[in-house]
Structure 1
Amino acid sequence: MARTREFDTTAAVEAAMAAFRRTGYEGTSIQDLVEATGLGRGSIYGAFGSKEGLYLAALDLYRERFARPLVELLQEGAPARELIREVLVGAVDEIVRDGSRHACLIVGAATERAHLDLDVRDRLRDTARSLEAAFFEVIVRAQESGELPGRRGAADLARFLVTSLQGLRVMGAIEPDRAALTASAEVALAALD
């Protein structure tokens, strides 16, 4: 008879997510995951199949906690510039608050795993596309209402804003300087004009 799982799966994935954010996929060993989660190797393999399975679960949880709220925020219907500023400046605030400089798991996955792992690449592509679509809808509504000029295509602007958002995360990992990151966010906002 198979044993039932006797641990909090979400708590284990949260702990693994923190470990992967600290040291990346390659830098995190199974032993590191055992120590971070408090689970035995057998429990990790039984629940997630492999280190990669646990990494994908951590990436999914990260997307749920950090990317989905951005999409939901952009769907609120407030003025476009205000919403977009809130997303970009909110990212700056989050970066600066993170004194331990934990990497954005999405950026880390893009640089470390996307070229090697189709499951990771597909998740990242879905995340980027959902953010682009949310930005696109905001921009189209604002251009149609005259809130934003229509000189630039909404699809190009949406893609640029996703690139800017991820660029803020990369530069913030290097040096979380609020003034410099906020200035970059303002330049991105100026592209809407």
Structure 2
Amino acid sequence: MGRTKSFVTADVVRAARDVFWRQGYDEASIPQLRAATGLSASSLYHAFGSKRGLFDKALTNYLDEVALPRLIALRQERPAPWALADYLLGVRRELTDPGSRLPLDGCLALRSASGSLAADPALRARIVRYRAQLFAAMLAGVRARRPEFDDAEAERLASTVTNLVISAFTLSRVDGAGAVESIDTALALLEPRSAEH
């Protein structure tokens, strides 16, 4: 009879997620992952197959528990007119909070799109899917805030806001002021311009 697994997989994945988030995939070492998870290298390999297998689980956890919950108000059937502005203001607060993970470690999903995994087709597909989820949420928010827009106008603004959010997440570790500026630009674009006289 085999030995009973003596760890909770979700806890191990969260602990590994934090290492990958802080260090990046390439810099996260097996000793660091062992220390964070409390498991031996053989247990990690037995449970997840490889460092990459563990990373894939950690990335899924990050998307499910960190990235996508930020979008919950925008993923409702009928988002409130202020839902997108609230989301952007929430991101801005994170960017300016020294205790937040965002200015310290950035976005794990976007960070993983560079380095040795950048050309990996499976990872690229996940990042493209994540951007599509961001875009869908931004589009729902734009349509709620600017119901006068036709489809082309709404999609154009949603694409711009999505790209500004991605820019902010990407810049957050190296240029906090630039990241905040991206969010402020998105907020300004969301508001109707005053009629010129």
TM-score calculated relative to the size of structure 2: 0.83
Partner of 1:51: 51
Amino acid at match of 1:16: A
**Structure 1 residues 159-168 or 114-123, which shifts more?**
114-123
Distance 1:75 1:154 in 2: 16
Checking the alignment, whether the CA contact within 8 Å between 1:164 and 1:185 is kept in structure 2 is yes
Equivalences for residues 44-123 of structure 1 within 5 A: 44-76=44-76, 77-79=79-81, 82-99=82-99, 101-112=104-115, 114-123=117-126
2-structure distance, mates of 1:167, 1:89:
15
Deviation at 1:135, TM superposition (A): 1.6
Aligned mates of 1:75, 1:181 — CA distance in 2:
24
Query: Residue in 2 aligned with 1:184?
Result: 182
Does the aligned pair in 1 maintain the 2:16–2:33 contact within 8 Å? yes
Q: Aligned partners of 1:124 and 1:11: how far apart in 2?
A: 24
Q: What percent identity do the matched residue pairs reach?
A: 31
d(CA) in 1 for partners of 2:15, 2:140: 35
For structure 2, the 5+ residue unaligned runs are 193-197
Is the 8 Å Cα contact of residues 21 and 107 (structure 2) preserved in structure 1? Answer: yes
**In the superposition, relative to structure 1, how do residues 49 and 93 fare at CA in structure 2: closer, same or farther (>3 Å)?**
same
Structure 1 residues 158-169: aligned runs within 5 Å: 158-169=158-169
- Uncovered stretches (5+) of structure 1, i.e. residues with no partner: none
| Secondary structure, aligned partner of 1:153 | helix
- Which aligned pairs between 1:24-35 and structure 2 lie closer than 5 A? 24-35=24-35
Q: CA separation of 1:153/1:114 partners in 2, compared to 1, >3 Å: closer, same or farther?
A: farther
Cα deviation, 1:52-85, whole Å, max 9, x if unaligned, reads 0110111001101222213322134211xx2222
- Structure 2 distance, partners of 1:33, 1:151, is 47
Aligned-residue Cα RMSD (Å) equals: 2.3
What is the alpha-carbon distance in structure 1 between the residues aligned to residue 114 and residue 95 of structure 2? 18
What is the aligned partner in structure 2 of residue 139 from structure 1?
Answer: 142
Q: Which residue is 2:195 aligned to?
A: none
| Count of paired positions | 186
* Paired residues of 1:113 and 1:120 also in contact (CA < 8 A): no
d(CA) in 2 for partners of 1:20, 1:150:
41
- The amino acid that maps onto 1:24 is G
